[in-house]
């Protein structure tokens, strides 16, 4: 009987030790907490980690494990290594039992591991189901509330959009009433009142359509993001918008130095052209005289120099334009160049003829000239054509290439020499 009593006492002491191991804290014990409940205690340090650091790490592992879609208690197992025991769920380590735990209580590490295993199986997994159900109900309620809130905000945004556009339309009507005869600049009508109404209607309709698309897109994205099951699709939908915006933003940031370069070139060119315009105006007025350079050459020479400067600016700026190095941009440039070359052969011939005639000085505006069978007063010259007003008040336009290839009779010059007189009937 004494032997049996001793054995029962030993078993009771062993069970009490194992029980205190998991549920009764010692002076240096740290609780492992899931939710608001203590699952068990960690009593010893492990290497450089204190018991509190170990307990915090185990708690974080259990929280991370609880995020798994479905957990099975049978996957919780004890794994023996060389000098310690590990408790894992599948291949995920949860906690380690070291020889220090065994030395503290005088119990085999296997028994300690078994006690922790039982505590996790009987305490942790039921809590997961309880919290999962509670979180599911709370989460569903939150999703429902958020969906209603999104619908209400979307409805309010659409109403606000209509109010703002109505105010803009009212402001446009005030402007239209003020300019009811249309918009004019120095007597030239740019746009009539009816055209203004159509333009405003088109712009407001376009703005309304774009804003409605943006609002509905944002609402649809938020609805998908609020629902956990469709959150991945929401991120994909977000990528459809954010990826192009990021690319455009990065391209704009990279393009900023080129913008400054182009602005500097345009600034210098603008003031250089202003200086040239001033010089040629002075030559035309006769205030500035250059030997061998006639006053009537001033305007056409300035126009040609300006065109050359524009071409030079285009050549410099072209490599700094966005997309100028892309094959598509180059292909379009080549295509436009071919079309220009094929379609402008006669125009170029007239321009070259106009330049030659300008510096030949065979006539000047106001002279009575004869080109072919057309006789009358020269009223206009340009790089492409000249215009003659006949004695019957008919204006005839003649290409410069025809003028250069034919005979030119200038009766005014003869009249100045008093060698020829004419009577205008």
* Same domain for 195 and 105: no
Instruction: Please tell me what DSSP assigns to residue 120.
Output: I
| Residue 249 belongs to domain spanning | 144-254
| Boundary (domain end) residue, out of 140, 170, 189 | 140
**For the chain, what percentages of helix, strand and coil (3-state, to nearest 5) are there?**
65, 15, 20
Q: 218-257, pLDDT tens digit by residue?
A: 888 888 888 877 878 888 877 777 787 787 777 778 778 8
Asked if residue 4 is part of any domain, the answer here is: no
For position 424, what pLDDT does the model report? 44
| Boundary (domain end) residue, out of 91, 106, 140 | 140
Q: 373-394, pLDDT tens digit by residue?
A: 888 999 988 878 889 999 888 8
For position 389, what pLDDT does the model report? 92
* Same domain for 378 and 313: no
* Same domain for 285 and 248: no
Asked if residue 23 is part of any domain, the answer here is: yes
Cα end-to-end distance, the chain, whole Å: 160
The whole-model pTM stands at 0.44
For position 90, what pLDDT does the model report? 82
* Same domain for 310 and 273: yes
**Least confident stretch, 66-70, 199-203, 296-300:** 66-70
| Boundary (domain end) residue, out of 106, 123, 140 | 140
Question: Which among 329, 307, 331 has a CA at the least distance from the CA of 320?
Answer: 329
Asked if residue 3 is part of any domain, the answer here is: no
Tell me the pLDDT band of 155, cut-offs 50, 70 and 90: very high
C-beta neighbour count of 292 within 10 angstroms: 5
* Same domain for 245 and 164: yes
* Same domain for 277 and 212: no
Following CA atoms 118, 124, 127, 132 in sequence, which dihedral angle do they give, to the nearest 10 degrees?
Answer: -130
Q: 334-368, pLDDT tens digit by residue?
A: 777 777 666 667 777 888 888 888 778 788 888 88
Q: 275-321, pLDDT tens digit by residue?
A: 988 888 888 887 888 887 777 778 788 888 888 898 888 888 888 77
* Same domain for 203 and 267: no
Asked if residue 118 is part of any domain, the answer here is: yes
Number of domains into which the chain is organized: 4
Asked if residue 423 is part of any domain, the answer here is: no
For position 149, what pLDDT does the model report? 92
CATH of the domain at 391: 2.30.30.60
- Mean pLDDT computed over every residue of the chain: 79
Asked if residue 2 is part of any domain, the answer here is: no
């Amino acid at each position: 009987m004494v032997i049996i009593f001793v054995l029962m006492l030993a078993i009771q002491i062993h069970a009490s030790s194992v029980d205190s191991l998991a549920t009764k804290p010692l002076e240096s014990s740290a609780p492992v907490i899931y939710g608001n409940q203590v699952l068990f205690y960690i009593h010893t340090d492990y290497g450089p980690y204190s018991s509190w650091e170990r307990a915090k790490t185990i708690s974080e592992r259990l929280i991370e494990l609880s995020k798994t879609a479905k957990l099975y208690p049978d996957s919780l197992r004890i794994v023996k290594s060389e000098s310690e025991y590990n408790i894992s769920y599948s291949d995920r380590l949860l906690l380690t039992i070291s020889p220090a735990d065994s030395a503290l209580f005088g119990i085999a590490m296997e028994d300690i591991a078994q006690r922790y295993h039982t505590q996790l199986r009987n305490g942790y997994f039921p809590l997961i189901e309880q919290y999962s159900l509670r979180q599911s109900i709370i989460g569903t309620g939150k999703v429902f509330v958020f969906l209603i809130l999104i619908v209400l905000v979307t409805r309010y945004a659409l109403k606000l959009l209509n109010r703002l556009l109505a105010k803009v339309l009212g402001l446009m009507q005030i402007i239209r009433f003020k300019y009811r005869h249309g918009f004019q600049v120095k007597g030239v009508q740019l746009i009539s009142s009816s055209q203004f109404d159509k333009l405003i209607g088109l712009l407001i309709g376009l703005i309304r359509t774009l804003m409605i698309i943006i609002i509905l897109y944002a609402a649809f994205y938020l609805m998908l993001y609020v629902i956990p099951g469709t959150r991945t699709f929401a991120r994909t939908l977000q990528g459809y918008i954010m990826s192009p915006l990021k690319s455009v933003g990065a391209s704009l940031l990279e393009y900023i130095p080129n913008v400054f370069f182009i602005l500097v070139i345009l600034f210098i060119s603008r003031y250089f052209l202003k200086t040239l315009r001033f010089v040629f105006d002075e030559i035309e007025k006769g205030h500035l005289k250059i030997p061998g350079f006639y006053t009537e050459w001033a305007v056409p020479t300035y126009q040609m120099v300006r065109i050359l400067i524009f071409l030079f600016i285009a050549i410099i700026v072209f490599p700094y334009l966005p997309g100028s190095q892309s094959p598509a941009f180059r292909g379009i440039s080549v295509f436009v160049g071919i079309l220009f070359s094929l379609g402008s052969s006669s125009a170029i011939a007239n321009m070259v003829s106009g330049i030659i005639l300008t510096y030949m000085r065979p006539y000047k505006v106001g002279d009575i000239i004869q080109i072919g069978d057309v006789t009358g007063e020269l009223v206009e010259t340009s790089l492409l054509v000249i215009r003659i007003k006949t004695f019957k008040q008919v204006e005839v336009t003649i290409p410069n290439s025809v003028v250069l290839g034919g005979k030119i009779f200038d009766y005014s010059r003869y009249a100045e020499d008093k060698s020829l007189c004419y009577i205008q009937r």
